[in-house]
Amino acid sequence: MSMNDRYEPKSIEPRWQRRWEEAGAFRAGRRPSAQKRYVLEMFPYPSGAMHMGHGRVYTIGDALARYLRMRGFDVLHPIGFDALGLPAENAAIKDGRHPAERTRENIVAFRGEMKRLGYSFDWDREISTCDAEYYRWNQWFFVKMLERGIVHRREGKANWCTGCETVIANEQVVDGDRCERCESPVVQKVIPEWAFKITAFAQELLDGLDQLGEWPERITTMQRNWIGKSVGAEVDFAIPGAPPLKVFTTRVDTIFGCTYVVLAPEHPLVEQVTTSERRAEVRAFVDRMRKTDAIDRMGENGPKEGVFTGAHAVNPYDGQKVPVWIANFVLAEYGTGAVMSVPAHDQRDFEFARKYGLPIRVVVQPAKGEKLPAGDALERAFTEDGVLEASGPWTALGSAQARDRMAAEAAAKGFGEATVRWHLRDWGFSRQRYWGTPIPIVYCPEHGAVPVPEDQLPVVLPEKAVITGKGEPPLAKVPEFVNTTCPRCGKPARREVETMDTFVDSSWYYARYLSPHDDRRPFDPEAARRWLPVDTYVGGPEHAVMHLLYFRFWHRVMRRLGLVHEDEPCRRLVTQGIVNGPDGRKMSKRWGNVVTPGPMVDRYGADTLRLFILFAAPPEKDIDWSDEQVEGLFRFLARVWRLFHARQDCFQARDAALAEAAGDFLELRRRTHRTIKKCTESFEGELKFNTGIAALMELVNALYGLEPKADAERAAVREALVALATLLAPFAPHVAEELWHEVLGAAARERLLSDAAWPAFDPALVAADTVTIAVQVNGKLRGEVQAPVSAGEAEVRALAEAEERVKAHLAGKTVRKVVFVPRRLVNFVVG
């Protein structure tokens, strides 16, 4: 038995990886006259070693990139490292190792594993965000955005992570009060910080979603909700002896039904308006609310609690006085921190009113159907639009029209206006951390915050790091860094010691790949014209409202700077599912169910691992790791391997003989061409690699049943083998190269399969000439007949009626109707 008879991935994979590299097979820009495709996967944060989730994203993207290259496109498929961030710094606190050192090591490990998996990256374009060569452009963008007023310094409440001891964005708070990265409790703290005015782009970012037809709908919906536009009106309620109370409402049409107003416990007017006899009770309530965590107070279905302040406010529309309450469910941060309550038309208000015996007044009736009973008899709030009643001059108007007119009235009379509220907050990006991009600002006693001029960038992160995770930011503890001179007047000054959120790094890296070593600008706008937008972006859905919103924002900023020209950074988004452990639970040390790519490649080879990942399910679905399935896919590749070696006698067969193929071998040719079609379709539209691979398996199964003898038969087998190797290339590229070279021999010596053309199918062979037609009687399957594709109803009906089983079911019945679907079925409806 020769060595070649056993499938040994270890002996073939490194060889082809070397050949690809030597040939520069995956360099972008090799086909300047061809159409471009930009395939991007979210770059990894290089913590420890690669895990299976990484294996999945890059395998999905790589299959697509390899396919597109074979289709003749000029493909850009880059990779880099999201190298700055908290985990490296937290680890440094534990063991004292410098984040840079650790990160470098991790990158080396990651790069090694990625190469072993055979990913077709253009490694010449590799970037790391921790290089000054990269982050200097973060600083450059910062300065440009500061000039344009997109960056501002704000003094405000911020989320303060008690674990990281750093400010984090609203968008990074999870579970109400947990840090997204370290899961420590988050508290509110007043702190000065730098922020991007992403809210100024809210409308654009919302409108842009309509262009993202190739994004999963659930992602665009999540962004829509996150941006959270609500159109409404701000209305002033007068309180004697106090400033007017501003309330925000989306339902100003219901304001004649307002029977009380409610303030957040933290509302600044609370102290002022509370009457002396109510004071003690109000204070007790406010204190209690302060002590309760936000999560408890606003948690699911918590009791709605409130207390009367003793004050009254005047509804400006009808002059009615309504009581002023405070309650736990009103959020100080949202809107104006005060709401008008219309119990008849808001369920929450309804429940509150019932609990505290406040009046309920119906002012909107359903446009059709039964009228609502009076407030006291109401069973639940009627919250839909309808027709106004008992609403002064607006009575009988529809809700929508009433809202417009009533807001206009408020503006005309000066007690309010139509407004828009957004859920989206500005993106605070100051971090009291070391391992990030220094914010290029100098504080001068005379000139205040002065941006570092462009020609003095980058502000390099000092190598010396004092990382304790406590007290002042690490950079504040490095005097050589802190002490500088003012760029404007030259006098002694102090540098900003905060660094940027690492979401800044990932907001524009896709553009840096276009000219990764450019030292005059963040990237070459000419290259951007060729390559942007990204055609397919692959990554996890957990980034739906952070990274994926930030990079859309940044793209728009870059457009304002004249660097890019489209509205959106990326055309199609593919969100891949999780790889769970064999037990179906999320992989975790805690469960001891972690499987990593490295050992799997050692054991089965990269091709088997890749095939498993792609075959288990379509990309979007979660999959469970399965040792048995992996074994099965290894066996499949070994089976393919043996097939080629058992059919070496066919390698020399000539295509000229193909036309003579008949019988089983004509069937084989048909199957070959159908497989090409099926496999091609698995890359177009929705990615469905699992069915493409299944088609290859069917072709292999068919080949195992055939013993070619004549020339034409050998030619048909050779045709199938060549197609099989070629179609396998995006999924299992190493074994595909090996077998392709074996079957083609000298003809392919200097070439690479990775560079070869994707096969075309012959439509004449894909179209069958006879088909199996199902025969039903009253919708139930009673037999099947073979008929020519072109067979008409009469012909098929005659064939069907000749079938014994069909005859039995038709016996003694009258055929009332015959339904005929060409090429598919015939259905006798009998009575």
Partner RNA sequence: GGGCGGGUGGCGAAACUGGCAAACGCACUGGACUUAGGAUCCAGCGCCGCAAGGCUUGGGGGUUCGAGUCCCCCCCCGCCCACCA
Indicate the residue among 305 and 518 with the shorter CB distance to RNA. Answer: 305
List 774, 801, 803, 810, residue binding RNA (CB under 7 A): 774
543 closest CA partner among 163, 65, 64, 172: 172
The dihedral built from the CA positions of residue 128, 130, 132 and 134, taken in this order, carries a sign that is positive
- Shortest Å, Cβ 693 to RNA: 7
Rounded Cα–Cα distance for residues 19 and 531 (Å): 27
Stretch that binds RNA, among 315-323, 368-376, 473-481, 690-698 (CB under 7 A): 690-698
The label of the residue with tokens 């808001």 reads 346
The radius of gyration of the chain's CA atoms, rounded to the nearest angstrom, is 34
Cα dihedral value 601, 607, 612, 617, nearest 10: 140
Stretch that binds RNA, among 296-304, 522-530, 597-605, 668-676 (CB under 7 A): 296-304
Rounded Cα–Cα distance for residues 204 and 549 (Å): 12
The per-type count for the chain, helices as H runs and strands as E runs, is 26, 33
- Residue 780 found at the interface with RNA (CB under 7 A): yes
Stretch that binds RNA, among 160-168, 183-191, 218-226, 724-732 (CB under 7 A): 218-226
Interacting residues with RNA between 620 and 679 (CB under 7 A): 621-624, 626, 628-629, 631-633, 635-636, 638-639, 642
- Residue 779 found at the interface with RNA (CB under 7 A): yes
Query: Strand order of the sheet with strand 416-422?
Result: 245-249, 229-237, 416-422
Count of CB atoms situated within 10 Å of the CB of 98: 16
Indicate the residue among 303 and 414 with the shorter CB distance to RNA. Answer: 303
List 694, 765, 766, 810, residue binding RNA (CB under 7 A): 694
Indicate the residue among 334 and 591 with the shorter CB distance to RNA. Answer: 334
Interacting residues with RNA between 126 and 185 (CB under 7 A): 174, 176
List 250, 588, 648, 652, residue binding RNA (CB under 7 A): 250
- Shortest Å, Cβ 533 to RNA: 23
Decide the pairing of beta strands 74-76 and 80-81. unpaired
Which residues lie closer than 8 Å to 497 by C-beta, 6 or more apart?
Answer: 432, 472, 473, 474, 475, 476, 481, 482
Backbone angles phi, psi at 39, to 5 degrees: -110, 120
- Residue 776 found at the interface with RNA (CB under 7 A): yes
- Shortest Å, Cβ 776 to RNA: 6
Stretch that binds RNA, among 143-151, 517-525, 664-672, 776-784 (CB under 7 A): 776-784
- Residue 581 found at the interface with RNA (CB under 7 A): no
User: What tokens were used for 830?
Assistant: 């009998």
Count of CB atoms situated within 10 Å of the CB of 135: 27
The answer to whether the CB of 639 falls within 8 A of the CB of 632 is no
Stretch that binds RNA, among 266-274, 314-322, 619-627, 725-733 (CB under 7 A): 619-627
User: H or E segment at 698?
Assistant: helix 689-704
CA distances from 824 to 61, 247, 790, 800, 805 (A): 37, 65, 11, 13, 19
Size of the site for RNA (CB under 7 A): 86
Cα dihedral value 795, 798, 799, 803, nearest 10: 170
- Shortest Å, Cβ 403 to RNA: 10
User: What tokens were used for 470?
Assistant: 């406590």
The dihedral built from the CA positions of residue 41, 42, 46 and 47, taken in this order, carries a sign that is negative
Interacting residues with RNA between 255 and 274 (CB under 7 A): 264
90 closest CA partner among 182, 12, 18: 182
CA distances from 655 to 391, 661, 669, 712, 717 (A): 86, 11, 12, 8, 10
- Residue 330 found at the interface with RNA (CB under 7 A): yes
Indicate the residue among 24 and 299 with the shorter CB distance to RNA. Answer: 299
- Residue 404 found at the interface with RNA (CB under 7 A): no
First to last CA, the chain: 68
Which residues lie closer than 8 Å to 146 by C-beta, 6 or more apart?
Answer: 451
- Residue 690 found at the interface with RNA (CB under 7 A): yes
Indicate the residue among 250 and 401 with the shorter CB distance to RNA. Answer: 250
Interacting residues with RNA between 808 and 827 (CB under 7 A): 808, 817, 819, 821, 824-825, 827
Indicate the residue among 661 and 695 with the shorter CB distance to RNA. Answer: 695
- Shortest Å, Cβ 286 to RNA: 15
One character per residue 450-489, x = contact with RNA (rule: CB under 7 A): ----------------------------------------
Indicate the residue among 517 and 780 with the shorter CB distance to RNA. Answer: 780
One character per residue 699-728, x = contact with RNA (rule: CB under 7 A): --x--xx-----------------------
7 closest CA partner among 636, 600, 614, 610: 636
Indicate the residue among 276 and 301 with the shorter CB distance to RNA. Answer: 301
Interacting residues with RNA between 299 and 318 (CB under 7 A): 300-304
Stretch that binds RNA, among 198-206, 328-336, 559-567, 711-719 (CB under 7 A): 328-336
Interacting residues with RNA between 219 and 248 (CB under 7 A): 221-222, 225-226, 228, 230, 232, 248
Interacting residues with RNA between 505 and 544 (CB under 7 A): 541-542, 544
SS3 519: coil
- Residue 77 found at the interface with RNA (CB under 7 A): no
Indicate the residue among 624 and 742 with the shorter CB distance to RNA. Answer: 624
Indicate the residue among 226 and 531 with the shorter CB distance to RNA. Answer: 226
- Residue 406 found at the interface with RNA (CB under 7 A): no
Q: Which residues of 388-408 are buried (b: 16+ CB within 10 A; e: fewer)?
A: bbebeebeebebeebbeebbe
Stretch that binds RNA, among 461-469, 516-524, 609-617, 648-656 (CB under 7 A): 609-617
The answer to whether the CB of 17 falls within 8 A of the CB of 26 is no
List 17, 59, 138, 249, residue binding RNA (CB under 7 A): 249
List 136, 267, 688, 714, residue binding RNA (CB under 7 A): 688
